[in-house]
C-alpha cells in the first residue's frame, strides 16, 4: 500500500516563478533539528559548504568533501517536507570537468537534493549547461566565492570597480544563458546587486548583495548568534539562541551537581505511590 502525503515540496520551477512576484526566503542548514524548524517557514534550504566553518570549525570551506555534503543533505531531506533542498558542490568536486561535476551532482541528487549549487564565473558556465541538460538543476554562485579565498586573497567584497562589476554581471548572465535556475550573488556592491537582479530573468538570491534581490540567503548560525565570532556586516542576529542553550545547560548541570536531577520520575521500575 502506498501512503500519500498532502504536503508538497517547493520545486525548482516554483522558485523560478517567484521572480517579480514575491521574495524567496532561504537559509543554510546541515542538521535535522534545525532543518525541521526551518522547513516550516522557508522556501529553500541550502546544505552549504559553510558547514565546514560553522559546523566543523574549519578556517575555510576548502576541505569539505562530497561525502560530508551527501550525508548532511540526507539528514536535512529526511527531516523536511516542504522546502526545496539545494546541496552545495564542495571544492574539488566539479572544477575538473563537466563529467566530474555530473558524477558528484548525481550523488547529491541521490541523497535527496533537488538541485546543486556551484561557485564560479563564466569559465564554469559550460559545466552548468552540461548538468542542466542532464537533469540537474543548478544554482550558480557568483561575486564573492568563498572557495576562491586563495585567489581572492581573503573574503573580500567584490565588484567595487567598474571592471570587476562588469565581469560579475557577465558571470551571472553566462550562467543564466547556460540554464541555471537562479543565481546566488554574494558580497558585492549594492548597486551591482540591484543591476544584476534587474538584468536577469531568473531569481537572484542575495547574501550581502542588495535588498533589491529576488530573495535572500544567510548562514543560520549567524542569525541565531551561534557562529561563535563576529557577525558578518551583511547578516543580522535575530536571536541569541546561544544564551538560551547556555541557560538550559547551566540549569541541567546545577541539577546534576545538587542532586535535583534526575528524580525518581525519570527512573524506570519505580512505582508511583
Ligand atoms: O556555503 C554556504 O553556506 C553558502 C551560502 C551562504 C550562500 O554558499
pTM of the model: 0.95
Q: Is residue 6 part of a domain?
A: no
- 117 annotated among ligand-binding-site residues: yes
Range of the domain at 246: 242-273
207 and 256 both lie in a single domain: no
Quick one: pLDDT at residue 102?
98
Quick one: pLDDT at residue 109?
98
93 and 122 both lie in a single domain: yes
- The per-residue pLDDT for range 65-100, each reduced to its tens digit, is 999 999 999 999 999 999 999 999 999 999 999 999
Q: Is residue 2 part of a domain?
A: no
161 and 174 both lie in a single domain: yes
- 63 annotated among ligand-binding-site residues: no
Ligand 1 close to Cβ of residue 216 (< 6 A): no
117 CA: nearest ligand 1 atom? 8
247 and 204 both lie in a single domain: no
Q: Is residue 4 part of a domain?
A: no
161 and 248 both lie in a single domain: no
Catalytic residue among 96, 166, 176, 186: 186
263 and 143 both lie in a single domain: no
Domain count, the chain: 2
The answer to whether 186 is a known catalytic residue is: yes
259 and 127 both lie in a single domain: no
Residue 268: exposed, middle, or buried by beta-carbon count in 10 A (0-12, 13-18, 19+)?
exposed
Q: Which three cell numbers stand for residue 110?
A: 541521490
Q: Is residue 5 part of a domain?
A: no
151 and 247 both lie in a single domain: no
265 and 196 both lie in a single domain: no
- 119 annotated among ligand-binding-site residues: yes
CA of 50 to the centre of ligand 1 (A): 6
Q: Is residue 35 part of a domain?
A: yes
Ligand 1 close to Cβ of residue 220 (< 6 A): no
47: β partners: 87
Residues 217-231: what's their mean pLDDT?
Answer: 92
Amino acid at each position: 500500500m502506498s501512503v500519500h502525503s498532502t504536503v508538497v515540496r517547493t520545486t525548482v520551477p516554483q522558485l523560478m516563478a517567484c521572480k517579480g512576484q514575491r521574495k524567496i526566503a532561504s537559509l543554510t542548514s546541515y542538521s535535522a533539528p534545525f532543518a525541521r524548524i526551518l522547513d516550516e517557514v522557508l522556501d529553500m534550504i541550502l546544505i552549504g559548504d559553510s558547514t565546514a566553518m560553522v559546523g566543523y570549525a574549519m578556517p575555510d570551506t576548502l576541505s569539505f568533501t562530497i561525502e560530508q555534503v551527501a550525508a548532511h543533505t540526507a539528514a536535512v531531506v529526511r527531516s523536511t517536507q516542504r522546502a526545496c533542498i539545494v546541496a552545495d558542490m564542495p571544492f574539488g568536486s566539479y572544477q575538473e570537468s563537466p563529467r566530474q561535476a555530473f558524477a558528484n551532482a548525481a550523488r547529491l541528487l541521490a541523497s535527496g537534493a533537488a538541485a546543486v549549487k556551484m561557485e564560479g564565473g563564466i569559465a564554469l558556465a559550460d559545466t552548468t549547461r552540461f548538468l542542466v541538460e542532464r537533469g540537474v538543476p543548478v544554482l550558480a554562485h557568483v561575486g564573492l566565492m568563498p572557495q576562491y579565498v586563495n585567489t581572492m586573497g581573503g573574503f573580500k567584497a567584490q565588484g567595487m570597480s567598474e571592471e570587476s562589476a562588469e565581469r560579475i554581471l557577465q558571470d551571472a548572465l553566462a550562467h543564466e544563458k547556460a540554464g541555471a535556475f537562479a543565481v546566488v550573488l554574494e558580497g558585492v556592491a549594492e548597486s551591482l546587486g540591484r543591476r544584476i537582479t534587474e538584468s536577469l530573468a531568473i531569481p537572484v538570491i542575495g547574501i550581502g548583495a542588495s535588498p533589491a534581490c529576488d530573495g535572500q540567503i544567510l548562514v543560520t548560525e549567524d542569525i541565531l548568534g551561534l557562529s561563535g565570532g563576529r557577525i558578518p556586516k551583511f547578516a543580522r542576529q535575530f536571536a541569541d539562541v546561544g544564551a538560551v542553550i547556555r541557560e538550559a545547560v547551566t540549569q541541567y548541570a546545577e541539577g546534576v551537581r545538587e542532586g535535583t536531577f534526575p528524580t525518581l520520575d525519570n527512573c524506570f521500575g519505580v512505582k508511583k505511590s
